[in-house]
Copies of this chain bind each other. A is one copy, B any other.
């Protein structure tokens, strides 16, 4: 049987979730970088693997799959020895995880990804910035963080639904929230600090998944610093767009 192949860019939050899941669970895999900044995701050879032209995707011995939550569920179910807490077999516990995973798409993810694209990295992806859209997404992101705090974190345990150990929902949501590094440390603090439970949860995810969580976020952190510096220097010369396109 061929080794599991991942197609990812560590700057993409769902890509990171899949990479970290494999590392944390000792799944033998080959990580293939699909560099979004270089447009690798639009190349025909990649579209043969994921016709949507998005990351992440996997090739499990000829079985192609995309959508990060579907991949995380699949790996949890198809690979032997994955601890139950990642994707509980109990139907009610699992249903609560599914609820969070589904909610995520049109709330935390839409808020975070939309804000970052429209306020910071759009030009690097060939799209103009759009402050009106960014403001709407920022409101959705803040409301989403508040919902996580109010609904899914409690005294029973540090992870979502009060679990003592992390699930694939913790991984997906934490990787998404980390993406706000692109908006700078100050923004991240403003977003998270009003919600101590969320702050503790994020720290608990990082600790439970050490050293992989931090390692896999290195590329994001370095790139975020670069974008912040550019912003401080007011670098809006047209050539910066070209530079950004080649290196995001």
Bound: A147/B47 CA distance, A = 13
- Are B69 and A103 in contact, with the CB atoms below 8 A? no
A59 close to B (CB within 8 Å): no
Chain B residue, CB-CB nearest to A68: B102
Interface of A is mostly: helix
Q: For A69, give the chain B residue with the smallest CB separation.
A: B102
| CA–CA, A110 and B107, complex, Å | 12
Which residues of chain B have C-beta atoms less than 8 A from A106's C-beta?
105-106, 109-110
CB under 8 Å from chain B, chain A span 67-115: 67-71, 73-74, 77-78, 91-92, 94-96, 98-99, 101-103, 105-106, 109-110
- Whether B99 lies near A78 (C-beta < 8 A) is no
B74 engages A95 (CB within 8 Å): yes
Contact (Cβ within 8 A) B99 A65:
yes
Shortest Cβ distance from residue A27 to the other chain B in the assembled complex, whole angstroms: 15
Q: Which of A35-73 contact B (CB under 8 A)?
A: 51-52, 63, 65-71, 73
Instruction: Count residues of A near B (Cβ-Cβ below 8 Å).
Output: 31
User: In the complex, how many angstroms separate the beta carbon of A136 from the nearest chain B beta carbon?
Assistant: 10
Which of these, B70, B101, B105, contacts A95 with CB under 8 Å? Answer: B70
In the complex, the answer to whether A51 meets B150 with C-beta atoms within 8 Å is yes
The interface residues of chain B lying within 8 Å CB-to-CB of A151 are: 51
In the complex this chain forms, how many copies of it are found? 2
A106 to B65, CA, bound (A): 17
A77 to chain B: closest residue by CB: B91
**Which residues of the other chain, B, contact A92 by a CB distance below 8 angstroms?**
63, 74, 78
- Distance A151 CA – B98 CA, assembled complex (angstroms): 24
Rounded to whole Å, the gap between the CB of A72 and the closest CB of chain B is: 9
Q: Scan residues 209-243 of chain A and give those whose CB is less than 8 A from a CB of chain B.
A: none
Chain B hits for A52, CB < 8 A: 103, 147
Contacts of A65 in B (CB 8 A): 95-96, 99
B67, B95, B98, B110: which contacts A103 (Cβ < 8 A)? B67
CB distance from A95 to the nearest CB of B (A): 4
Which residues of B have CB within 8 Å of A69?
A: 98, 102
**For A98, what are the chain B residues with a Cβ–Cβ distance below 8 Å?**
67, 69-70, 73-74
